[in-house]
Structure 1
Amino acid sequence: MTDTSHKAQTTDRVGPIAQFMRATEIDPRLLGMVGALVLIGVGFHIYSAIFMGEGTFLTPRNLWNLSVQTASIGIMATGMVLIIITRNIDLSVGSLVGVTAMIMGILQVEILPKYLGLGSPYIWIITLVVGIAAGVLIGAFHGWLTAYCDIPSFIVTLGGLLIWRSAAFLVANGKTISPVDETFALMGGGPYGAIGATGSWIVGLLACAGVIWGAFRGRGNRQMHGFALRPIWAEVFMTVLACGVVIGSVLVVNAYPWPKGILTQYYAKLGQPVPEGIFISHGFAYPVLILVAVGLVMAILVRSTR
């Protein structure tokens, strides 16, 4: 009786915020990180407004550029997660990216055009396959040294950092590699490396449909296995919140138009004058969509691995 009364009193003393967090199952650490990012963004925006005369940080243009610039880091981070959770480390990621990039650059600029012709539609495909294969082979070699030769990952990847950084310089012979294949360059973003307003809305609606499907599926799985269910209001709140984030992202990327110079270049190729008041949205950039795809694949891989 005493135990039961004590538990009831403890539950009653839980504040509304704690009850809300418990019902929605929001991770406080994630909430803290998101809050820190928001504070940093607001701080930089206020700083630019005070010292530059105009708030330029939290604008569609800057947020779009930040998403493109951080996409490559995000892709690398998805692979790093699996290494870190096994209590290992990889110091050679940056150098490995450098050497694979140089291999891909030399391949599409100097080697493949000789055999396939300049502008061949197969150049970017072959380049991408070779780049991924090179990364997989080097990564597998590092893994073999760590797992089968009992060399600590710190030592292996520290050596890899030095070796592959030098290898990147040797592959390119210290020179600039350009111009890359036009289709391949689209994966780096830019005005032409984005899917536009319509494509972004399609992606956003598909993402919202996926969120709703995931909510129903997750609740069904919990019920099937006898796990505790979240309250209906919490399920609805989390689903609406996720869809709101998706729709908000679409609105932000669609609010960033093509610059005037790009518009002039685009319509010059069409042989037409630039229409008055034309507004062409960037939409989601290809590297951001690639990051999302890689993240989904890695999430499925982690969930399926035992």
Structure 2
Amino acid sequence: MSVTEANDKKTVSNGPRRDFNIIRLLLEGRAFFALIVIIAVFSFLSPYYFSLNNFLIMASHVAIFGILAIGMLLVILNGGIDLSVGSTLGLAGCIAGFLMQGVQLPTFGVILYTPVWAVVVLTCAMGALVGAVNGVLIAYLKVPAFVASLGVLYVARGIALLMTNGLTYNNLGGRPELGNTGFDWLGFNRLGGIPIGVLVLAALAIICGIVLSKTAFGRWLYASGGNERAAELSGVPVKRVKILVYVFSGVCAAIAGLVLSSQLT
């Protein structure tokens, strides 16, 4: 073996060498470094900022956006966009407040007070319905995702405004004799010192990670998002995947709305 062949083989085995570049590191991690600077500045300005309790409080608020982001992640991986998540979140809060206030049945002369678990289920079902409308418009009617979700945004926001007349639902704590207490538990209670919203975010993130990495649906999602036509020719149920992705996004928006409205109780 010649010296040239030995050097070529050594280069192939070791792979291409990348020199350390501090400028590239700063550019690629600029968001992380900016976060460190922000934490350092605010910790210097206030002695209460850099504390476990403050970070848990901030985490409970950030969890709302994190839950929305998980649903949006799947939509973007599928090559789409969902502009309606904010209005779906608001509509979820209105639905939850409406149910917690009591549903009047004038025909029977009674007011039906819904337990909290039923409020959560019905609100998530509403979010799934909104997502399904988005998915059907995009998958079957071939409406562009931007246009379809923008239209659903205004519909959801309009329904919420019609329900509340532009006002807010107050006193959602419920009453023990009516069996509808515990709604504020979602927003203020903690398990092991960790806010419920953060735990919900962690659970959704774990479920999403498992689905994307360990299931056939995750592979279908990546395939249809990369090349929809090729995935369809390979036997991937592209339309069904698209609808399920938007349904999941709607459910995540509804869960975020529940957490937010319970924090405002």
Instruction: Tell me, yes or no, whether TM beats 0.5.
Output: yes
Whether 1:194 and 2:175 are equivalent positions in the alignment is no
1:95 corresponds to 2:87: yes
Mapped partners of 2:170, 2:94: distance in 1: 11
Which amino acid in structure 1 is aligned with residue 112 of structure 2? Answer: Y
Deviations 1:18-60 (A, max 9, x none): 9xxxxxxxxx95x6644442232223323x2xxxxx3343222
**Which 4+ runs in 1 deviate beyond 6 A?**
15-18
Matched, 1:170 2:166: no
The CA distance in 1 between the partners of 2:15 and 2:71, in whole Å, is 44
One-letter code of the match for 2:111? K
Distance 1:9 1:36, change over 3 A: farther
Whether the aligned pair in 1 keeps the contact of 2:102 and 2:112 (CA below 8 Å) is no
Using the aligned pairs only, state the percent identity.
Answer: 29
- In the other structure, the counterpart of 2:7 is 5
> How many equivalent residue pairs?
196
Q: CA RMSD in A?
A: 2.8
Cα deviation 1:122-173 (Å, max 9, x = unaligned): 6100100000000001100111000100000100111122221222111122
What's 2:54 paired with? 62
Corresponding residue of 2:202 = 292
Q: In structure 2, how many angstroms separate the alpha carbons of the residues matched to 1:13 and 1:39?
A: 34
**Superposition deviation, residue 80 in structure 1:** 0.2
Q: CA deviation at 1:16?
A: 10
The correspondence of residues 125-144 of structure 1 with structure 2, limited to 5 A, is 125-144=117-136
CA separation in 2, counterparts of 1:110 and 1:149?
Answer: 38
Structure-2 separation of matches of 1:3 and 1:58: 58
Whole-Å separation in 2 of the counterparts to 1:33 and 1:143:
33
Residue 111 of structure 2 corresponds to 114
Task: Quote the Cα distance in structure 1 between the aligned partners of 2:111 and 2:148.
Answer: 37
Residue type of the alignment partner of 1:299: G
The partner residue of 1:42 within 33, 40, 43 is 40
Unaligned runs of 5+ in 1: 19-27, 49-53, 117-121, 201-282
Question: What letter matches 1:45 in structure 2?
Answer: S
1:183 aligns with 182
Kept in 1, the 8 Å contact 2:138–2:145? The answer is yes
Q: Corresponding residue for 1:226?
A: none
Residue type matched to 2:35 in 1? Answer: L
SS at match of 2:167: coil
3-state SS, counterpart of residue 172 of structure 2: coil
Q: Is the 8 A contact 1:99 1:171 kept in 2?
A: no
Higher relative contact order (CA 8 A, sep 6+): 2
Structure 1: distance between partners of 2:85 and 2:123: 14
Q: Deviations over 1:87-136 (max 9, x none)?
A: 211111100110111011101112289335xxxxx610010000000000
Structure 2: which 5+ residue stretches go unaligned? 22-26, 105-109, 174-180, 220-265
> How do 1:200-211 and structure 2 match up within 5 A?
200=192
Output the TM-score relative to the length of structure 1.
0.57
* Contact kept in structure 1, 2:134 and 2:148, CA below 8 Å: yes
Q: Distance in 1 between matches of 2:75 and 2:167?
A: 33
- Alpha-carbon offset, residue 84 of structure 1: 0.7
TM-score normalised to structure 2 length? 0.65
1:12 and 1:194, CA in 2 relative to 1: closer, same or farther beyond 3 A?
same
